[in-house]
Each structure stands twice: as C-alpha cells, then as structure tokens.
Amino acid sequence: MSGLIVVNKPSGYTSRDVVNIIGKELKQKKVGHTGTLDPMATGVLVVCLGKYTKLTELLTSLDKEYIAEIKLGIETDTLDITGTVLEERNVRTTKEDILRVFASFLGEYQMEVPKYSALKVNGKKLYEYARNGEEVKLPIKKVYVYELELLSFTGDIITFRAKVLKGTYIRSLIRDITHKLGIIGTMNNLVRIRQGNFKLEDAYSIEDIKNNKYQILKIKDVLNIPIYCLNALEMKLVRHGNKISINSNDKLILCTYQNEEVAIYEKKDDLYKPKVMLI
C-alpha cells in the first residue's frame, strides 16, 4: 500500500506516536510523516505510506498555516504552557501595538531555534541537551512569515493565524513577538490548519483510521504537478535515474508509465532530472 493520509493529530501524542499507530493499524512497515508537530499541538499531519515515504522531504517543504494562542504574562523554559514557569508578571498591551508588531514580522527574519526541539547540533538533539541541563549554542535560522492575522485579543489571550515557510517554530515566533511588545508570553495552544494543499477539514482522526473510515490520497490528488506519460525508451532512461528531454516549461512533472507512478522529475536548464524516484 502506498499513498498519503491526512491525519488530525490529537493533543498529547507525538508525531512519531501517530506514525506508529497508523503503521500498526494498517499493517505497514514503511510509514513516515512530513513535519513534526509538538505533542501539545493538534491538526494536520501528513502521513506517508509505502513508497510515498520518499516524498517526505518534498512535502515537508510546503508552506504551513496555523491558529495559535498566546498566554500573556507568563514565560516558560519550553516556550509553551506545558513547560516549567520561569517568570510570571502582570503585563499590558493594546490591539494597536499587537497589529504594529505583527506587521514588523512579515517577511524574512533570523529566528533562534528553541532549545526544546528535535533539531540536531553536533549529532545530538537540542532537547537532549536541555533535559540534561547542558549548555549549547542555539542555532539561528532564516525563516519567512507570509501572513499574521490577529483573530482576537481578550484579557490575557491573543489568538492569531500565521502562514509561514517550512522550519518556522511558532513557539519561537511567539517569544519574539512578545519580546518586541516589551512583555512576556508563551504559546497556549497550536493547531496546524493547513500544509500545502492539505487542509484540516479533510483530515481524519485516529479513531476514523481505526474504524477504516479514511481515504488514501495519491500525488495527483494533492499536488499541482502535471502528469507526463513516458514512452518505453523514456521509461528505460528514468528507471536508471537518467536525465530526459521533455518539451515542457513546468518545474516539476510526475512521470508515469502504463498508469504507474514512476518518478517526480525537476527541470534543470533544458533537461529534466530525478527529484523523487518512486520505483
């Protein structure tokens, strides 16, 4: 079995927990996901089955959209409400200030990666350093924020929608937003509502999957990639990972042969070269 399942990850589960559950329920050995969600977070988690696990890097690169809550007046070591409280104090801000600061974060900026994350430094995950009380220089990475929309501001809770490039930590974004407001705050809730063309309203719960109420998607269902039907000679070249010449201006194409998905090819100069092999 090969394909994609869009899962609505429940709170309290790691992304790996979801992968393990689906692998067990569907009796699949090759299962992966395309973008880690924090255990407290919910929402879209795209799970790959079989040969579609080769698509993980391509799908992880898709833009992501979130609904997040900021709890004002509290700061924690994990940058979310589940962590150890480092500081609490009364804070004040205004809707006007929030909108001004949101606007200042649009575009590219340098973000410090949170210490409680799975990013590896010197072969070791950052959260392992944090849990062991070891000091480590936190990496700075370039991120991109496409949209920040204030949804509500009531009492000590700010709710907003964010559309961001891959690799953007919403916890760190919240830290940076509150610091620029001159106050403290932490992530109180997070829902991923979209990843590329995968939407929350199309996602299945763990119970749906256990009850066999789900749909397995194919590339053509979810990615805007033109299909190119290979002839026998082209198929021979593609099978060996060779470049091919195709009269097309599309950046990516899905190569098929006798109705079977064979590979995703990417245009480089005047030729197409393999990006993802599916055979």
- Asked whether 46 and 195 are in contact (CB, 8 A), the reply is yes
**CATH superfamily to which 64-192 belongs:** Pseudouridine synthase (3.30.2350.10)
Amino acid 59: pLDDT: 86
Amino acid 220: pLDDT: 83
Q: Which fold has domain 225-277?
A: 2.30.130
Spatial separation of the C-alpha atoms in residues 258 and 36, rounded to whole Å? 35
Residue 5 bridge partners (DSSP): 47
**133 by DSSP, 3-state: which?**
coil
Would residue 176 show up in a list of annotated catalytic residues for this protein? no
Structural element, H or E, at residue 195: strand 185-195
Strand 42-49 to strand 140-154: parallel, antiparallel, or no bridges (unpaired)? unpaired
Intrachain domains 3-58+197-220 and 64-192 with the same fold: yes
Spatial separation of the C-alpha atoms in residues 91 and 279, rounded to whole Å? 57
Q: Does domain 3-58+197-220 have CATH number 3.30.2350.10?
A: yes
Amino acid 62: pLDDT: 85
State the DSSP code for 14.
-
Amino acid 134: pLDDT: 87
Complete DSSP assignment for 140-164 = EEEEEEEEEEEEEEETTEEEEEEEE
Spatial separation of the C-alpha atoms in residues 173 and 108, rounded to whole Å? 12
Mean pLDDT per 10-residue run, the chain (279 residues)?
Answer: 93 94 93 90 95 88 94 96 95 96 97 88 87 88 97 96 95 97 97 94 95 91 90 95 92 94 93 93
Spatial separation of the C-alpha atoms in residues 149 and 37, rounded to whole Å? 21
Going from N- to C-terminal start, the domains of the chain cover 3-58+197-220, 64-192, 225-277
Amino acid 177: pLDDT: 98
Spatial separation of the C-alpha atoms in residues 66 and 53, rounded to whole Å? 24
**200 by DSSP, 3-state: which?**
helix
Residues 6+ apart with CB under 8 A from 242: none
Amino acid 117: pLDDT: 85
Amino acid 127: pLDDT: 86
Candidate list 38, 156, 221, 270, residue with the active-site label? 38
